[in-house]
């Protein structure tokens, strides 16, 4: 398989190698082998685990008691699927007619429906519903199948020919289903990139390693925003600089995913963090709408929704505030689980494995704790989430007005982020501009104090240089009509 893939990747179509290999190895042979690999995968990993353990079986020491484990070489499955894709690419480029390939393409159309539900509240609710009902549906299918089988056995089946025909049909249906499942599995775990070689675009296919599945959208956005795009060299250089950091993040997220899959209740909470973000965001908006519509001098510090005394507005605010705190806590806890070990792991490395010393250990703990706090506060996201929790608690315990901070989530919107960056990135230039402006105001204040002091509100506002400076600064932004 490695040899065949090597022959077909980036090959010159004029040599006709692809057509000769396709004639020698029909697509049916490849799909049969693909199914064999997939069947072994299903047997060894019935729950659909896709992790490092599935790879490199051929490099491990052989154990006769685990024959199927060593027969399963997932790399063969990927090479077969790469070869199938190279066959398909060759067909599309050469525009050749091949009934077998055409039939194969028709069986596996591109799935665009899932993209419509991506990155929106409806999609997240759908994802949550699937997670909750998935196991139940699977159980119902098993029960239904058992009932059907029991009914067939009770009826005694049909004639010998009918049974044989039914067995053949079931076998054919099962085989087609396995082919579809195998292709879906390898397609989901296969990636490709395009390179320009000798003036032509060539596709290079490769397996997506398990930890690469955990490249989060946040990491992608951070990378795209920070990468230097002046040339291809600068982009590649930045990618190489960030590679270790990205891999470290992905491997950590993969480790967390295995824990969440083991403990389903934590997985249910952690795998739907986007939904909790939406919930916290919309509840924050609702809270602030209620707050702005509820306070009046007529009622003092007691809120009444739309100034209606009959409404128990405080209980509504408290209920929504508690919900907001719960959803915010889920988001913050998930963030700290992902960020804190990466940010602070090197500080605490080896601390808990050391032998306890009654004097040194507490001192080391305090030092490391202070070091962790200082490093954490330098991280903008950690500081932001700490403030989210602080103001949510203040809104519940002190005054609902503190819920105003929940609206800062608007600033994390992609479009508004650009507005904030437009001010933040040139902050040094803007700061120096402000300094020049203050100097000019100061010079005017000196002249005003020395020469025109009596003209500042009858002289009362310019009795000292400081007062004169403040008045000059204040009047700069006002139009006074006499």
Query: What is the average pLDDT across 261-265?
Result: 79
Residue 117 has pLDDT above 50, yes or no: no
* DSSP code of residue 112: -
What is the C-alpha to C-alpha distance for residues 418 and 424, in angstroms, rounded to an integer?
10
Dihedrals φ, ψ of 206, to 5°?
-160, 150
Measure Cα distances from 263 to 51, 113, 162, 365, 408 in Å.
Answer: 17, 30, 47, 30, 33
From the list 70, 67, 42, the residue with the least C-alpha distance to 56 is: 70
Q: Which residue has the higher pLDDT, 92 or 218?
A: 218
Q: What share of the chain is helix, strand, coil (3-state, %, to 5)?
A: 75, 5, 20
HSE-up (13 A, CA, CB side) for residue 107 = 16
What is the C-alpha to C-alpha distance for residues 400 and 303, in angstroms, rounded to an integer?
9
Residue 347 has pLDDT above 70, yes or no: yes
For 367-420, the DSSP string reads: HHHHHHHHHHHHSHHHHHHHHHHHHHHHHHHT-GGGGGGGGGGGGGSHHHHHHH
What is the C-alpha to C-alpha distance for residues 208 and 51, in angstroms, rounded to an integer?
11
Of the ranges 66-80, 145-159, 356-370, the best mean pLDDT one:
66-80
Q: What confidence tens digit (pLDDT) does each residue in 158-217 have?
A: 455 554 545 554 555 567 788 888 888 999 899 988 888 777 778 889 999 999 888 888
From the list 96, 79, 285, 61, the residue with the least C-alpha distance to 186 is: 79
* Cβ atoms within 10 Å, residue 37: 22
Q: Look over the chain and give the mean of its residue pLDDT values, rounded to a whole number.
A: 80
Nearby residues of 158 by Cβ (< 8 Å), 6 or more positions away: 166
Residue 359 has pLDDT above 50, yes or no: yes
* DSSP code of residue 293: T
What is the C-alpha to C-alpha distance for residues 339 and 253, in angstroms, rounded to an integer?
10
Q: What is the pLDDT of residue 24?
A: 85
Strands (E) located in 198-318:
200-207
Inter-axis angle of helices 414-424 and 427-451, to 10 degrees? Answer: 50
Measure Cα distances from 136 to 46, 329, 458 in Å.
Answer: 17, 29, 83
For 78-111, the DSSP string reads: HHHHHHHHHHHHHHHHHT---HHHHHHHHHS---
Nearby residues of 394 by Cβ (< 8 Å), 6 or more positions away: 402
pTM of the model: 0.63
């Amino acid at each position: 398989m490695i040899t065949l893939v090597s022959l077909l990747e980036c090959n010159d179509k004029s040599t006709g190698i692809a057509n000769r290999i396709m004639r020698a190895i029909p697509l049916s042979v490849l799909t049969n082998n693909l199914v064999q690999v997939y069947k072994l995968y299903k047997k060894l990993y019935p729950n659909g685990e896709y992790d490092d353990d599935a790879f490199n079986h051929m490099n491990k020491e052989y154990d006769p008691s685990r024959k199927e484990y060593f027969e399963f070489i997932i790399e063969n499955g990927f090479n077969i699927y790469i070869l199938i894709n190279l066959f398909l690419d060759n067909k599309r480029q050469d525009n050749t007619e091949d009934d077998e390939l055409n039939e194969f393409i028709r069986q596996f159309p591109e799935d665009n429906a899932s993209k419509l539900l991506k990155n929106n509240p409806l999609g997240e609710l759908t994802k949550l519903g699937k997670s909750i009902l998935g196991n139940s549906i699977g159980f119902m299918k098993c029960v239904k199948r058992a009932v059907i089988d029991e009914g067939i056995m009770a009826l005694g089946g049909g004639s010998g020919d009918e049974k044989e025909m039914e067995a053949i049909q079931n076998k054919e249906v099962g085989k087609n289903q396995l082919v579809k499942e195998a292709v879906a599995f390898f397609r989901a775990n296969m990636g490709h990139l395009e390179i320009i070689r000798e003036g032509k675009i060539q596709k290079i296919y490769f397996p997506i390693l398990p930890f690469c599945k955990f490249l989060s959208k946040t990491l992608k956005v951070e990378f795209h925003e920070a990468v230097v795009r002046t040339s291809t060299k600068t982009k590649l250089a930045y990618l190489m600089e960030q590679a270790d950091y990205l891999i470290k993040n992905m491997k950590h997220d993969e480790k967390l995913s295995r824990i969440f899959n083991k403990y389903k209740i934590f997985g249910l909470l952690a795998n739907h963090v986007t939904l909790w973000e939406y919930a916290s965001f919309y509840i924050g908006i609702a809270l602030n709408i209620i707050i702005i519509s509820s306070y009046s001098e007529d009622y003092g510090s007691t809120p009444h929704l739309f100034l209606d005394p009959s409404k128990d507005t405080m209980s509504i605010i408290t209920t929504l505030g508690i919900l907001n705190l719960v959803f915010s806590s889920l988001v913050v806890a998930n963030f700290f689980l992902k960020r804190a070990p990466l940010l602070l792991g090197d500080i605490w490395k080896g601390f808990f494995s050391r032998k306890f010393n009654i004097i040194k250990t507490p001192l080391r703990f305090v030092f490391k704790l202070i070091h962790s706090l200082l490093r954490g506060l330098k991280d903008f996201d950690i500081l932001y989430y700490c403030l989210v929790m602080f103001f949510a608690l203040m809104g519940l315990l002190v005054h609902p007005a503190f819920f105003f901070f929940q609206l800062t989530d608007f600033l994390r919107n992609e479009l508004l982020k650009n507005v904030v960056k437009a001010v933040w990135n040139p902050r040094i230039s803007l700061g120096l501009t402000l300094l020049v402006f203050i100097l000019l105001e100061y010079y005017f204040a000196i002249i005003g104090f020395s020469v025109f002091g009596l003209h500042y509100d009858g002289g009362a506002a310019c009795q000292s240089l400081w007062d004169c400076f403040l008045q000059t600064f204040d009047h700069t932004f006002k139009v006074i009509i006499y």
